Structure 1
Amino acid sequence: MIETDVLIAGAGPTGLVLALWLHAQGVRTRIVDQGGGPAPNSRALAVHARILELYRQLDLADELIDRGYQLPATNVWVNGCHRAHINLRQFGTELTPYPYLLSFPQDEHERLLEKRLNSFGIFVERKTKLQNFVDNGSSITATLACANGAESTCEAAYIVGCDGAHSAVRHVIGAKYEGDTYVPLFYIADIVAEEQDSPIFNGEAHLTFVDETFNLILPYVEERHVRLIGTTIPKTAPSQQTNTSEPQAEVTFEDVLPEIKKTTNIDIQKVNWFSTYRSHHRVADKYRSNRAFLVGDAAHIHSPVGGQGMNTGIMDAINLAWKLATVIKQPSMTPEAKEALLDTYEPERRSFALDVVGATDHGFTILTSSGFFPHLLRAWVIPSLIPLVARFHTTRTEIFRRGSQLVCCYRGSSMLSEPTKGSEIVQPGDRLPWVKTERDDNFSTLHDISWQVHVYGDSPVGLEEWCKTKHVQLIVFEWDEQHGKAGFKKGAAYLLRPDQYIAGIYEGADLESKLDEYFYTRGLLPC
């Protein structure tokens, strides 16, 4: 007998988000984690705009923003000389309600998510390790090593591996974890600086270069309380089996302190914690095997450049959650329709992960490579080019779209209708563009995990009755020139998936039949 709908292995941000989104859609979940609690220290700080947009669905965004720190600017230093200042408040203001980079420590992030999960009566089963599982075809049977030392089994409809770089779920399904290990050893420190007139501690981010050594300084909580990230070259090269999460004992804070002072010239008052770790760039060759799925670091792992890893994993979880909920909560779906829907998870998310890994790998190589040309890029080209390109609105917009993951789209997915004519027009698979006018904000309705239809301009005849019959929320916005600038067609119906991506765009006669065809051909019910 199936005990739960979905067994989640791993209670980091991705596992917790998956549990929250599944619960919100009426799916029974069980979440286990081999740790004793949320990690006391964390590497991930950046929460990007796309995550905050999606967090509005469960009313999480405001609390994160209240507790986080919005970075106002970033600076570039080369050999102790200030070379560039970039005002981050100029980026993304027309793209999203959250045009900034939010700094919020991962350990606090996890506690916030877990507290919300606990409020629903769902608790992480700590010190419980997934040992193995068997896919029975119609369910899975997992073997768990429990906190009391005993073994138990769990029967679930599906299992999702949110269990990190050394995922047991990935091992069982035989997915290859293709990629490599970076030679530099990363170190990360939570430090408090001495009271001093240092421009480094002004509440802004700072990237400093001295030869091949760099440090990234990110403020949070207060100006003189910062997260410091850097790299050092260890005495021995890393092996492929090196744990990416465990501290590396061979390097201490005292070992890297001379490098830190060389790049930042600061006096440190207190070190709250210090850790080192290897970083990999890897993507699993498959994200699904029948009733087992991979999410987050179990599926892909990146260099810390751009703070993309955790954010990409959270988007994995939200993409998968509505698809699992659909096949579980709609028993009338045919087996073929269920398989077709679940099969869209891997191509939609893996292609984006490959793009992110490629971009972060390229960026990290530029930051750390030795030689004349990499040095020239760091010392002269990048510091000179960044302020120049930041002057142009188009460039700022593109930088923000890519860095904040607003660029993610699913064009070409089988879950979409045919594309519309015109490359400048919003297409199926795109994130719903944000438009704020003097009258309304088209994101104000995105508080539910549900299908919606948006119309900009007059609603087509018959659409209101169709939506009412199908229990789909219809929102009609009075036409504004800003809608046209964002790429919307006047009077067209935009069908939104539960994850806020555009599933189809419909206009003209017999629109209701076109919508019916979308759901019928995919074996879906809109409600």
Structure 2
Amino acid sequence: MAPETDVLIVGGGPTGLALAISLHKQGVKFRIVDSESGPAQHSRALAVHARILELYRQLDLADDLLGLGYKLPATNIWVEGKHRAHISLRDFGEGLTPYPYILIVPQDAHERVLERKLKTHGIFVERRTKLEGFVDSGSSITAKLVRQDDGTEITCEASYIVGCDGAHSVVRHQIGAKYEGGTYVPLFYIADVEAEEQDSPLFNGEAHVTFVEDTFNLILPYAQERRVRLIGITIPKTNETRQDHKLPESHPEVTFEDVLPDIKRVSGIEIKKVNWFSPYRSHHRVASTFHKNRAFLVGDAAHIHSPVGGQGMNTGIMDVFNLAWKLATVITQNLMTEEAKTRLLDSYETERRSFALSVSGATDRGFTLLTTPGFLSHMLRAWIIPYMAPLVTRFQYMRMGVFRRASQLICSYRDSPLNHESGESETVQPGDRVPWAKTDSADNFETLQYLCWQLHVYGEPWPNLSEWCQKMNIRLTVFPWDKKYGEVGLKKDAAYLIRPDHYIAGIFKGESILLKLDGYFSTHGLTCARPLSH
């Protein structure tokens, strides 16, 4: 007997909701449960980066977030009360993406958009429902769920289970994955506040980083009104910056009144209203495995990062888009062998864990430099950052490099087992995100709103390629050659095979192109790469 559903999603935050919408769009049955009574009630994560907006087009969500969000216009650096730098962020990533900016969307609003989209399909999160555990039989999983309102126990049998259930993930504990990394010693706080009517330069709709002695504040606007997010340190730092697995999660009761004197000392701002305040420990951890048999980890269940750069939620949502099409493929393509299904699903960990490790390492290094006492860190905060950052961002190449990293456009899967290796060294290679190029007549990202396998040809297609694509149900788009394609690294007359998550699976050219394409799908057991959605 077949399981009652294809996928059990545990967790109704941004990653769980995005996974649910993507699976529904691809015809996959699922249940989504969450232990909370509703979406987030506070702003939490704020930044939505360009890569997420690109992918959200597939789910008809990008415009919704753009309508809600605030495009961060600039950031400022203050040292000991003196303004040292102003860095414009308007169209910071121009030429790289249709979304060349940092979009600020409070997580509570973000989640409401996602849940509303799910409800338009008649699908609802099963709230106040907790996962107690599950058994993986090899052919399916059987989960024990408990309704918290009345204690009713429910059994759910599914083909797969995905843990989107946060840093204390039940799914992660169940599969025995270690959560490797550490906890930063300083106790930090987040506060969402509204300002008094004043002429403070720190409430001008721009971001501000203020350094005073060995402490700092980050002031981040999340609306055009006088509403900002404050991030700072609540207690004095020790000589250590972190300990591995030894620091208790508990912390002394710290109130906003306790940190208000330090806020005034560092920034001098006057607060009208506090909408949310929370002290917290910051962590950097990556699970030892993202996947075991029929269980998967996504988002904070798999990795957690320091707040530098707003990478955590964005990395989790990218996990979703990597995993969703692979789950949909193995569930809906009945002609795939079990070996091919296993290889495809195993590629999720291969691709995403290595990227999570790189993000965690980079944010850890940045966070440590910002928060460690000492001469080197003082020089970094007082002199190097204030004077070098504006200089670096004046040069287009440097600015584009910063934006690629911050917005996760840099994410690449060049070592993926799903790549077709051509043996040629090119600027754009299999495993890379398709580079964006807009000409006077076309935008090559327009077709990427369709969640399916695609072929892009820039120039002239080889004979019979159109017939092959019709037979394979692969969307073919031919772009007349333009020098702008060459400028971003695309090759004339080459055929780029693009996965449903916008990454290049292979670059094909020459007279044997059809044989090479057939060989790719045969090798990976994808006997029919039919469109997953239209």
**Structure 1-normalised TM-score?**
0.97
Q: Distance in 2 between matches of 1:491 and 1:262?
A: 61
Q: Distance in 1 between matches of 2:206 and 2:237?
A: 33
Alignment check: 8 A CA contact 2:186 2:237 kept: no
Deviation track 1:42-86 (CA, whole Å, cap 9, x = no partner) reads 320000000000000111101101110000110000111001110
Matched to 1:256, the amino acid is V
Aligned-pair CA distance for 1:222: 2.0
Aligned-pair CA distance for 1:164: 0.5
Partner of 1:186: 188
Matched to 2:479, the amino acid is F
Query: What SS is found at the alignment partner of 2:203?
Result: coil
Deviation track 1:310-369 (CA, whole Å, cap 9, x = no partner) reads 000000011000000000001111000000000100010000000000011011111111
Partner of 1:83: 84
Partner of 1:225: 227
How is 1:163-182 mapped onto 2 (pairs within 5 angstroms)? 163-182=165-184
Is 1:368 aligned to 2:379, yes or no? no
Of 488, 497, 500, the residue aligned with 1:498 is 500
Q: Distance in 1 between matches of 2:477 and 2:128?
A: 46
Q: Distance in 1 between matches of 2:51 and 2:20?
A: 19
Aligned-pair CA distance for 1:285: 0.6
Aligned-pair CA distance for 1:239: 9.2
Matched to 1:24, the amino acid is K
Q: Distance in 2 between matches of 1:20 and 1:484?
A: 35
Aligned-pair CA distance for 1:197: 1.1
Partner of 2:71: 70
Alignment check: 8 A CA contact 1:44 1:307 kept: yes
Matched to 2:83, the amino acid is H
Query: What SS is found at the alignment partner of 1:499?
Result: coil
Is 1:348 aligned to 2:348, yes or no? no
Alignment check: 8 A CA contact 2:140 2:294 kept: yes
Partner of 1:462: 464
Of 339, 344, 350, the residue aligned with 2:342 is 339
Matched to 1:138, the amino acid is S
Query: What SS is found at the alignment partner of 2:23?
Result: helix
Identity among equivalent positions (%) equals 66
Partner of 2:514: 512
Matched to 1:258, the amino acid is P
How is 1:199-348 mapped onto 2 (pairs within 5 angstroms)? 199-233=201-235, 240=245, 250-348=253-351
Give the direction of change, closer, same or farther, for the CA distance of 1:72–1:235 in structure 2 (3 Å limit): closer
Give unpaired runs (5+ residues) of structure 2: none
Is 1:484 aligned to 2:486, yes or no? yes
Aligned-pair CA distance for 1:421: 2.2
Partner of 1:107: 108
Deviation larger for 174-183 or 211-220? 211-220
Alignment check: 8 A CA contact 1:176 1:285 kept: yes
Give the direction of change, closer, same or farther, for the CA distance of 1:132–1:242 in structure 2 (3 Å limit): farther
How is 1:388-403 mapped onto 2 (pairs within 5 angstroms)? 388-403=391-406
Aligned-pair CA distance for 1:233: 2.6
Query: What SS is found at the alignment partner of 1:278?
Result: strand
Alignment check: 8 A CA contact 1:494 1:504 kept: yes
How is 1:370-449 mapped onto 2 (pairs within 5 angstroms)? 370-419=373-422, 421-423=424-426, 425-449=427-451
Q: Say what the alpha-carbon RMSD is for the aligned residues.
A: 1.5
Aligned-pair CA distance for 1:121: 1.4
Give the direction of change, closer, same or farther, for the CA distance of 1:420–1:204 in structure 2 (3 Å limit): farther
Query: What SS is found at the alignment partner of 1:196?
Result: coil
Alignment check: 8 A CA contact 1:455 1:494 kept: yes
Q: Distance in 2 between matches of 1:377 and 1:331?
A: 57
Matched to 2:507, the amino acid is I
Aligned-pair CA distance for 1:419: 4.3
Give the direction of change, closer, same or farther, for the CA distance of 1:109–1:34 in structure 2 (3 Å limit): same
Query: What SS is found at the alignment partner of 2:226?
Result: strand
How is 1:126-145 mapped onto 2 (pairs within 5 angstroms)? 126-145=127-146
Query: What SS is found at the alignment partner of 2:447?
Result: coil
Q: Distance in 2 between matches of 1:295 and 1:395?
A: 32
Aligned-pair CA distance for 1:167: 0.4
Alignment check: 8 A CA contact 1:202 1:223 kept: no
Matched to 1:48, the amino acid is H
